[in-house]
Amino acid sequence: MLQYNIDLRGKAILVTGAAGFIGSNLCRRLLVEVEGAHIIGIDNMNDYYDVNIKKERLSSLNKFNNFTFIEGNIADKTLIDKLFASHNPYVVVNLAAQAGVRYSITNPGAYIESNLIGFYNILEACRNNNVEHLVYASSSSVYGSNKKVPYSTDDKVDNPVSLYAATKKSNELMAHSYSKLYNIPSTGLRFFTVYGPAGRPDMAYFGFTNKLVKGEKIQIFNYGNCKRDFTYVDDIVEGIIRVMQHAPEKANGEDGLPIPPYKVYNIGNNQPENLLDFVTILQEELLRAGVLPQDYDFEAHKELVPMQPGDVPVTFADTTPLEQDFGFKPSTSLRNGLRAFAEWYAEYYKS
């Protein structure tokens, strides 16, 4: 187990993508649990999915006196430089990104702007403001069509199958170079299919639910022969908070130059679920929560279709390093996670 070397109490912490699914959950935990911390959130509030869900997440954060929200884009360098100068964050968690694999096929520009230019602006600001630890979101998509499972952070990841994946791998490379050149401690986290209440409507579990409620057919890709390491949002947030508190150690090599204070971890459930089993559990929980009527004909609303471009047949996280270094691995069962989502959905969309 690593010893924590970052004390978050009483510190300014910047969370980018603060109105996002993971960002808002992280902010809430930090606001409730970290004594005296001041959380600065930034988000561009784009309409990639329903902005009302983002506003709802924000409204619960704005109740805290120690939360400051800035609406803006991390690709705006002037704004980011000003933000760092005025708030001087001690730790930065970069969760702002254009998300989604399929959207990157039709809208590549959005990914270059947010995931590359935006991340560059964050790195530059960290360099110029002596940030103690940069934690940033990577993604399981960097593993591409790797055949070896479970996916280990030691695996080569040079074959992305989507631009989204390519931008996330680029983030890791950029962070590594900044760690090496400027001795900035950085930790990348490869998230595996995050789900839960008030999640992203573009994710399968949410999209399936919306379609079933409207009586439309859901399409199950690769004829159901997909496996996903579904990871509940609370487990992701717990992992982030633990990782935030240990910055990779600064040290010099034999050449007298810095050894990059740089780490990458997987955060996944370490238990891939078959897509058809996942759909079955989702159906059962939607019935239980009263989202759908008890006599709903699921078979009539399911369609098995071929694989989508940019998708991969399996995601499976090796979380051993996370367990060894932080004594933690995600453990929320798919049933409990989907139950929480179904209950939230029933409450949020009640007519």
In a domain, 164, yes or no: yes
In a domain, 253, yes or no: yes
Per-residue tokens: 350:
């009640």
In a domain, 285, yes or no: no
In a domain, 18, yes or no: yes
Higher confidence at residue 243 or residue 105? 243
- Domain region containing 57: 12-192+231-270+316-326
The rounded distance, in Å, linking the Cα atoms of 142 and 149 is 14
Return the DSSP state at 95: -
Per-residue tokens: 218:
């859901």
C-beta of residue 271 within 8 angstroms of C-beta of residue 235:
no
pLDDT digits (tens, 9 = 90+) for 254-272: 988 889 999 999 999 989 9
Mean pLDDT for the stretch of residues 273-290: 95
The total number of structural domains in the chain stands at 1
CATH code, domain carrying 99: 3.40.50.720
> Is the bond leading into 150 cis (omega within 30 degrees of zero)?
yes
164 included as an active-site residue: yes
In a domain, 23, yes or no: yes
Per-residue pLDDT band for 145 (boundaries 50, 70, 90) equals confident
Q: Active-site residue among 151, 164, 265, 345?
A: 164
**316: three-class secondary structure by DSSP:** coil
In a domain, 203, yes or no: no
In a domain, 218, yes or no: no
Tell how strand 262-267 and strand 186-191 pair up.
parallel
Q: Which amino acid is at 194?
A: V
In a domain, 119, yes or no: yes
**188: three-class secondary structure by DSSP:** strand
The rounded distance, in Å, linking the Cα atoms of 8 and 29 is 12
- Give the containing element (helix H, strand E) for 139: strand 133-139
Q: Which amino acid is at 85?
A: A
pLDDT digits (tens, 9 = 90+) for 97-106: 998 888 888 9
Per-residue pLDDT band for 311 (boundaries 50, 70, 90) equals confident
